[in-house]
Structure 1
Amino acid sequence: MANVALIGLEKAFGTQTALKGIDLAIADGEFLVIVGPSGCGKSTLLRVIAGLEAPTEGDVLIEGQSALSLSPAQRGVAMVFQSYALYPHLNVRDNMAFGLRMAKRPEAEITAAVGQAATLLGIEDLLDRRPKELSGGQRQRVAIGRAIVRQPRLFLLDEPLSNLDAGLRVHMRHEFARLHRELKTTMIYVTHDQVEAMTLASRLVVLNGGAIEQVGTPMEVYEAPRNLFVASFLGSPRMNLLAGEITAITKSAVKVRLVSGDVVSAAAEAGRAHIGDRITLGVRPDALAIGKGANGFNVTADVVETLGGMQAVYGLMAGVGQTVCALLPGGHPVRHDDTLRLCFAPSDAYLFDADGQAFTRLKARA
């Protein structure tokens, strides 16, 4: 295992800055997931840790020692790419053994390492096949096996499931979680898929525009997003974000007039709030319910997606045409053009100021 510290990392490609002042400590045995939209710097960060790119500024410490003067092979890291990068003319056994043979390890040691990795990954019966004879999931297992046999201090995984279909992605997520449990090795995993991020991470890093937006456990980040970007990025379907204006303030709640004219309450620490402030109110789709309460607004159902026991209803807010999504039980069918009253508890609301920064939420209902 290895701990890693990233100190003031900057990376520029000409006039384009890919990483901006990254400071991050990664503990021994941690499964850290870096998530963010395409082009936010995730893969660049991974390549800097691996030694495939040199930072413009800053340092990478592995076990407390700077790794900048070390080659990728000397850093004790193994990287798994989304493209698998298998040698088509070699069988599975030789693909997995390739790195060890290049390092001139004894053949008996190579045979034992390949056998152990194949057993761990359940690919013992594939060792004599070539990559073209394998499915996408099997190829990914081989690529992982090639990394495992090296017994690295650190695994770096760059969107390893992006080329798989939906069913295989779910299965391989389970496999990665199991491997981490059994290998107990530090893993840094890059993805743009928030489901992978939420289900795999022991800790989550949200990256945007080359900078860290928030770090925490998946539930910490999901339940307490620091700003509008994190709030809108995590969650499927995404959080509803509604423009509004503060009309009243109490000790434990803020009254907000939405663009639709509805006045609703949000349980929030009101120290930063002022009457007349323009804010954004957020409410997740699963926090909305059909009701008759005052804390809500009307929508006209536009698109209804049936999801088995649930239905995702996309409705247009009355008078303004803004789309709102609600996750509702499937037992009460909603049809196109139905008028619905969607209500939520004040404690389920999120507030963001004009700069997009979150107010502290209060758990007690207003």
Structure 2
Amino acid sequence: MADVELVGVGKVFGAQAVLHAIDLAISDGEFIVIVGPSGCGKSTLLRLIAGLDQPSAGDIRIEGRSALDATPAERGVAMVFQSYALYPHLNVRDNMAFGLRMAKTPEVEVRAAVEAAARLLGIESLLDHRPRALSGGQRQRVAIGRAIVRKPRLFLLDEPLSNLDAGLRVHMRHEFSRLHRELATTLIYVTHDQIEAMTLASRIVVLNAGRVEQIGTPMEIYEAPRNLFVASFMGSPRMNLIAGEIVSVGKTGVKVGLVSGDVVSAAVAAGEARAGQAVTLGVRPEALGTARAANTLSMTVDVVERLGSAHSVYGAIKGVDQPVCALLPGDRPAQHGDIIALHFSPASAYLFDSEGRALARLKPVTKAA
């Protein structure tokens, strides 16, 4: 296993700065997921760690030593690409063995390593097949097997599930979790899919326009987003955002007048809020319901996505440009044109200032047993 530290890492292509002063410390055995929209610099960052590119600024340290002068092989890194990068003229066995043979590993060790990795991945019966005879999920396993046989200190995976269908992506997420547990190695995984990030990571790095927006556990990122970008990017369906203005500040939170004309309460710390301050209210779809609560919004239903046990209900709220989404129980009838009252508690409300920074929320009071 390996610990990895990035110190002020930047990357410039021509006149275009792609990464800006990235600081990140990764401990032995962590499963780190770097997530962000397309073009934010995720894959570039992974290539820098792998040694496939060199940073324009900063240092990359593996196990306490600078790796800038080390080749990818010397770094003890194995990378799995989005395209799998299998050799079409070689069968699965030879694809998996290729790196070891290039390193002049004795053939008896090569065979043992390939067979052990094949058993771990459940592809023993495929060893004599060529890539064109395999499904997408099977090709993905072969690509992972080729990395495993090298026994790297560090696994790097660049959007490995993006070419798979939805059902197979779910299955492969489970496989990655199991492999990380069984191999007990450090793993850095890049994706634009926030569901993959939430379900796989021990910690998430949210990247945007080449800058780190927030680092934390999945629940820290989800429950305490640092800014408007993180709040709107993490979560499916995404957080509802409604413009407003603080009308009063009290000990138990603030009152916010929304563009819809509604006045709602938010459990936000008084020290960070002031009357007349322009804010954006954030409410997650699962926090909106039809059961009575302190805050109410009126929505005209436009589209209902029936998901069985729950419905994603999208509709319009006066003055709000984007559709608002609520996750409602599957037995709650709703159809196009209905006007429904949606309720949410002050504790489930988020507020962001005019620069997109999250205002501190009041911590819930826990009663003594």
Normalised by the size of structure 1, how large is the TM-score?
0.98
Structure 2 residue aligned with 1:289: 289
Equivalents in 2 of 1:277, 1:147: separation in Å? 53
Does the aligned pair in 1 maintain the 2:293–2:345 contact within 8 Å? no
Q: Report 1:289-328 matches (<5 A).
A: 289-291=289-291, 293=293, 295-318=295-318, 320=320, 322-328=322-328
Following superposition, the deviation at residue 294 of structure 1 comes to: 5.1
Cα distance per residue 1:93-139 (max 9 Å; x no partner): 00000000000000000000001000000000000000001000000
Equivalents in 2 of 1:248, 1:294: separation in Å? 16
Following superposition, the deviation at residue 89 of structure 1 comes to: 0.4
Structure 2 residue aligned with 1:137: 137
Stretches of structure 1 lacking an aligned partner (at least 5 in a row):
none
Q: Report 1:1-366 matches (<5 A).
A: 1-291=1-291, 293=293, 295-318=295-318, 320=320, 322-364=322-364
3-state SS of 1:90 partner: coil
Following superposition, the deviation at residue 363 of structure 1 comes to: 3.7
Cα distance per residue 1:304-331 (max 9 Å; x no partner): 1101110011110135554210000010
Equivalents in 2 of 1:120, 1:141: separation in Å? 10
Does the aligned pair in 2 maintain the 1:121–1:145 contact within 8 Å? yes
Equivalents in 2 of 1:197, 1:343: separation in Å? 29
Query: Could you say what the CA RMSD is over the residues aligned between the two structures, in angstroms?
Result: 1.0
Following superposition, the deviation at residue 297 of structure 1 comes to: 1.2
Equivalents in 1 of 2:364, 2:33: separation in Å? 32
Which piece of structure 1 moves more, 174-183 or 270-279?
Answer: 270-279
Equivalents in 2 of 1:240, 1:353: separation in Å? 15
Following superposition, the deviation at residue 23 of structure 1 comes to: 0.4
Following superposition, the deviation at residue 362 of structure 1 comes to: 1.7
Following superposition, the deviation at residue 337 of structure 1 comes to: 0.6
Letter in 2 for 1:11: K
Letter in 2 for 1:240: N
Letter in 2 for 1:117: A
Q: Residues 320 and 54 (structure 1 numbering): CA distance in 2 closer, same or farther, change over 3 Å?
A: closer
Following superposition, the deviation at residue 274 of structure 1 comes to: 1.2
Cα distance per residue 1:40-94 (max 9 Å; x no partner): 0000000000000000000100000000001111110000001000000000000
3-state SS of 1:332 partner: coil
Equivalents in 2 of 1:176, 1:291: separation in Å? 39
Does the aligned pair in 1 maintain the 2:317–2:324 contact within 8 Å? yes
Stretches of structure 2 lacking an aligned partner (at least 5 in a row):
none
3-state SS of 1:308 partner: coil
Q: Residues 320 and 51 (structure 1 numbering): CA distance in 2 closer, same or farther, change over 3 Å?
A: closer
Following superposition, the deviation at residue 185 of structure 1 comes to: 0.5
Equivalents in 2 of 1:322, 1:40: separation in Å? 24
Letter in 2 for 1:253: G
Cα distance per residue 1:271-312 (max 9 Å; x no partner): 121111100010000000124555111010011110111001
3-state SS of 2:241 partner: strand
Equivalents in 1 of 2:319, 2:49: separation in Å? 51
Following superposition, the deviation at residue 252 of structure 1 comes to: 2.1
3-state SS of 1:275 partner: coil
Equivalents in 2 of 1:53, 1:315: separation in Å? 46
What percentage of aligned pairs have identical amino acids? 72
